[in-house]
Structure 1
Amino acid sequence: MSRRSEGVRAGARLALAACGVAALCAVAVTRVWAGPAGTEGEDFIYLVERGDTLIGLADRYMTRLDGWRMLQQLNRVGDPYRLQPGTRLRIPLKYIAEQAGSARAVAVHGDVRADGAPLRAGTQLAEAARIETGVDGLVTIELSDRSRLTLPPSSAVQVRRLRAFAKTGLTDSMLEVGRGGAEAQVAPGGTGVGRFEMRTPMMVTGVRGTRYRVAADDAGNRSEVLQGIVGVAGITGAGKVGKAGAAARVGAGYGVSASGGGKLAAPVPLPPPPQLGALPQPVLGATAPLQWQPVAGASGYRVVVSRDAEQTEWLSTQRVAGQQATLADLPEGVLYVGVSAIGAQRLTGPASVQRFVVRLTPPAPFMLRPGKDSSQYGQQVGFAWAHVDGGVRAYEYEVAGDSDFRDAAVQPLRSEQTEAGRELALGRWWWRVRSLDAAGQPGPWSESVPFTVEPPPPQPSLADDGGDTLRIRWPAAGAAAAAGYRVQLADEARFTHPLVDAHTETNEVALPRPGSGFYYVRVAREGKGGGKAAVSEAAFSAPQRIEVVQYLRDGTGQPVASAGGMIRRGQ
């Protein structure tokens, strides 16, 4: 057995004996550190390893060699050369030489300020710094031993102490969470813990392990242990740490809350992590839906998206009541999503974490036609989109009868051009398009654009009996004609200023006979609302060019006919 592993086992046995909650210890003992193990009050705690001596420990941590004598008396050690592995050795912090520590912001998103000034990633933080996050703010702070502190939105933390043991580099840090919360991952490299404490208005939590959270809000103060063991003490109304009965040792998988006056509730188990549904790989686009199985007794869930698997560099966080959430504003690259259940006393459990990849390039083309909520007249529908620069080799477009594209009538079709055509049935449709890079890999889809395929416009024909009116007819379309028709007559093909703009509920109309010349006529079916406002330009038939002539008339006003037909005036 190695020196390190035997020390861990011995420390675990000692922690088990010292703990008053058997179930708690059963979870926690496998995480106890050998060697540096945090602090209790004003003492640094060291768990003795095989081969340790008081003289060696005094040389390693204290300001003078003869400090071993004080350690011998304080810890009631009989033989300074024979220390039992796993023994908890107290070293007063006041006898440990210290130097200034360091911290820097390694990840910043949204509104984050340090001492009132905007905080940027890479900025060094000094002792006494005050860090605040806005409603969209997220920040991760890293100490010299790679310990990390992550602050969610609407939080405020005051750095009370930022130092390091001069001879070992172990950090000595104290932080005060005045509002919101904080999540700490302490000494991830396995070097052990010097002092790392986070205080809220009602409790102080000191690390014996590696990862935990604290929160301070209107519902009270809470501490949740994810790895290792922490010591939690209540803080009285006078701002002092409580005495006997106001402290607890809390192990991994448990949480504790404090009420007014610093009274601690008994530690309770944290809710288990939910089982997550699989995200598509890759996620094509900046949003993705996520679902999970319900956790018994959960009042809600916390969803965190991060850049790292340990979830110390947050990109977003949200709380939801149900078993689904939309991940939004996702950047390109490898990301991680973690979902935790919120249980009794608003304590949040460990997270189920899933890795996923987001792909945002090449970007989707700009869609040209059909436009959103437009009507296409005739079953041959043309699709068009803008060209995308930057190594795009081709495009794919898709058409479906629903906005989620579960009922895809036309599977993704590839085109090297920026337009295509398809024949579709009458009805409501959605379409979307995406770009393919030089390797044929797709980028995200464009938005889903709805459109409607309508029957083709009726084609008008002229019935001229030579009388005072022109009769325009077109084929009836059954139920489609119930809303009526719009008929226009103009002296130019663009119909900029129609001479006649008429409504009829039948498939023909009689128009006053204009003067001789060439004219244009077109017809459109009216929408359900009826009237001129219900008809778009696309609904009209192609302009039909007609010639209007004047005929000779007899005394009754009827056209004069000959063997060759009606006689034009002037013949």
Structure 2
Amino acid sequence: MRKVIGGAALALLAGMAVPAHAGPAGAEGADFIYLVEPGDTLIGLASRYMASEQGWRTLQRLNGVADPYRLVPGSRLRIPLSQIPEQAASARVVHVAGAVRANGRPVQAGMTLDETTRIETPAGGSVTLELPDRSRVTVPPATTLSVSRLRMFARSGLTDTVIRIEKGAADTRVAPQGGGVGRFELHTPMMVTGVRGTRYRVSADTAGSRSEVLEGRVGVSAARGARARPAAERAMTAAASVGAGYGIGVSAGGKLSQPVALLPAPALLPPADTVLGPSFEAVWQPVPGATAYRVLVARDAALSELVWTGTASGATATTARVDGLPEGTLYLSVSAIDKHQLTGHDAQAPVSVRLNPPAPFTQQPAADAVRYAEAVAFEWATVPSAARYELALAADSAFTRDAVVQAASEPAATQALVPGRWWWRVRSVDAAGRPGPWSDAVPFSVEPKPPVPTLQDDGGALHIGWPEGSGAGAGYRVQVSADAGFATLLADEHTTTNAIDLPRPAPGVYFIRVARAAPGVTPDPAAFSAPQRIEVNALLRDSQGGAIGSGDRPDGGGRIRLN
């Protein structure tokens, strides 16, 4: 496999052993570096990379080669970048999430971006670019970067890429097919990194810049000078060669730290085989030395197409709520962050997310509704792709206490429930018997059924009573009206017992209802019993004023019946 090396960092590796079969090896300053392979000649290399095979004379002079036909395998050969024909190249947007903008315009998957493009990702947004050699650059949320250079060597197809990160981060997977690169560098205001390998990360903020090497080797240089100056004009003040498994930082003052071993991957507790719905709880074991954890969810195992990113702060953090996920097979990644703000190795697990058939829209009971009945009716919207439904009820929002699941062929069901606080949710089931995600849990309450009043009329007062039941400690509210809608109240009284005497009204038809209620509290209309219709008859009295009886009651009193 051919190896790759970063531009400014290549000199740092000159004293290291290099493989005999190396080939394209990045750039150093104004030169492209090639590591000689067996059988290479100056004429052949000039023909492959330069404008003309006659360029072999320049190579001979620049590299001090005695015999142009006898090159030492593994030796470094400089080829001036100025003499390598290049052509414009473009990066293809392979994934985008959120309102990402390029040069101020919205970015969409499938677009091509050219040199000088400035990319901005919002909080919660990300974009992944693919270069012509299949290298991928994943730009996470809250990042601003510019593509300073994006070209290809005309004769070999190698890329020539320089990306400047103003703030934020980038995760790269360079030349995954192993053909090497002409140049691939990530610059921050305080750091220049060049690739030797395939995967590393770079981030920058007001505290400085950091780089973590996951595969291969990266040359890291601290830079000084005004931020507005081009990277090529900066003076290098320090440099280091960083291998896989290590990270390094440059402070805001330009001081390069020593390489630090990255924290190990956390022990990740894999989610359920199938996650029903767009969210789940990521859970892991704490890592000694961690101050926080980075949590990612991507569409691909290489984590180049992000769909969710987050940070769990605190050394003892062990969970993160992941939400807003699309349907399909996704990949969860959790990494520990150390005191240097270096992100360590990640633990990964595949996650299968199912969003279909979709959850029905819940209708009744609405959130925090109260039902005054022994049996509660539930309703939800029809889902065309559902063959049936499942209604779940529980005495807690986690659906662990007194939980019951009821099958329903229609978007409605009735369930007997004891008084108390309840939660309900519903989901669709397709024709193959596969359930979709649950709807959001809806809280509601069940109160005892309202008492039903009875009437005794002795001609002097209306004696109204009802059975005493649970929840009667606060007392009762009794209303009498001339109409069934209780718009015209003749009496509206509170009593602490299950009986009350009310003045006898003029003969006619009236309505009575009762509700459990505390003094001074106006009950919900649904808390009252169904209106009871009463007929108060005219009375005939004797000489002493006693009732003789009239109408169809021997005592001349009233009758009560359901409206």
- TM-score over 0.5 for the pair: yes
Partner of 2:91: 103
Matched, 1:543 2:531: yes
Q: Which residue of 2 aligns with 1:506?
A: 497
SS of the aligned residue for 1:210 comes to strand
Q: Is the 8 A contact 2:458 2:555 kept in 1?
A: no
Q: 1:481 aligns with which of 472, 479, 489?
A: 472
Amino acid at match of 1:90: R
Tell me the equivalent position of 1:399. Answer: 393
How far did residue 283 of structure 1 move? Answer: 1.7
Q: Aligned residue for 1:384?
A: 379
Secondary structure (helix, strand or coil) at the match of 2:189 reads coil
CA deviation vs aligned residue, 1:120-153 (integer Å, no higher than 9, x gap): 3222222222222233432222211121222222
CA shift digits 1:471-505 (9 cap, x unpaired): 11011226x21111111222333334333222111
1:342 corresponds in structure 2 to 337
In the aligned structure 2, how far is the partner of 1:156 from the partner of 1:59? 39
Aligned residues: CA RMSD: 2.8
- Alpha-carbon distance between aligned partners in 1 of 2:105 and 2:179, rounded to the nearest angstrom: 34
* 1:489-545 per-position Cα deviation (integer Å, ceiling 9, x unaligned): 22333334333222111111111212222322111111xx54343x22222222222
Name the structure 2 match of 1:495. Answer: 486
Structure 1 residue matching 2:483: 3-state secondary structure: coil
1:357 paired residue number = 352
| Contact residue 264 and residue 336 of structure 2 kept, 8 A | yes
Match for residue 447 of structure 2? 454
Please give the residue correspondences for 1:183-198 in structure 2 after superposition, counting only pairs within 5 Å. 183-198=171-186
User: What pairs up with 1:249-328 in 2 under 5 angstroms?
Assistant: 249-321=241-313, 322-328=317-323
Alignment of 1:83-162 (within 5 A): 83-162=71-150
| Pair 1:276–1:567, CA change in 2 (3 A) | closer
Q: Secondary structure at the match of 1:67?
A: helix
CA deviation string 1:423-456 (max 9, x = no partner): 2233221111011122222121111111222222
User: Per-residue deviation at 1:51?
Assistant: 3.2
Deviates more, 1:379-388 or 1:500-509: 379-388
User: Does residue 170 of the first structure (1) align with residue 158 of the second (2)?
Assistant: yes
Whether contact under 8 Å (1:552, 1:568) holds in the other structure is: no
Offset, 1:270: 1.4
Unmatched segments (≥5 aa) in structure 1: 9-14
Deviations 1:326-369 (A, max 9, x none): 11211222222222211132111232222212222222222232
Tell me if the contact between 2:209 and 2:252 (Cα under 8 Å) persists in the aligned partners: no
Unaligned 5+ runs, structure 2: 4-9, 559-563
Partner of 2:458: 465
- For residues 301 and 472 of structure 1, the distance between their equivalents in structure 2, rounded to whole angstroms, comes to 68
Q: What secondary structure is seen at the aligned counterpart in 1 of 2:281? A: strand
The structural deviation recorded for 1:184 is 1.6
Amino acid at match of 1:288: F
For 2:27, which of 15, 36, 39 is the aligned residue? 39
Contact 1:193–1:209, Cα closer than 8 Å, also in 2: no
Query: What is the TM-score when the length of structure 1 is the normalising length?
Result: 0.88
Identical-pair percentage? 54
Aligned residue number for residue 409 of structure 1: 403
Deviations 1:396-434 (A, max 9, x none): 011111101122431x22110222222223322111101
Shift of 1:241: 4.2
Contact 2:170/2:201 (<8 A) preserved: yes
* TM-score computed with the length of structure 2 as normaliser: 0.89
1:371, distance to aligned residue in structure 2 (A): 2.5
Query: Structure 1 residues 568, 218: closer, same or farther in 2, change over 3 A?
Result: closer
**What is the SS of the residue equivalent to 1:209?**
strand
- 1:419 corresponds to: 412
* 8 Å Cα contact 2:330/2:352 also seen in 1: yes
For the 8 Å contact 1:162–1:173, the answer to whether it is kept is: yes
Residue 212 of structure 1: SS of its match in structure 2? strand
Picking from 550, 555, 562, the partner of 1:566 is: 555
Distance 2:493 2:188 in 1: 77
Whole-angstrom CA distance in 2 between matches of 1:73 and 1:183: 39
Aligned-partner residue type, residue 517 of structure 1: G
Q: SS at the partner of 2:449?
A: coil
> Is the contact made by 1:111 and 1:135 (CA closer than 8 Å) also made in structure 2?
no
- Helix, strand or coil: the match of 2:340? helix
- Answer whether contact 1:139 1:314 (CA < 8 A) is retained: yes
User: 1:258: how far off?
Assistant: 0.9
Aligned amino acid, residue 455 of structure 1: P
The number of equivalent residue pairs is 543
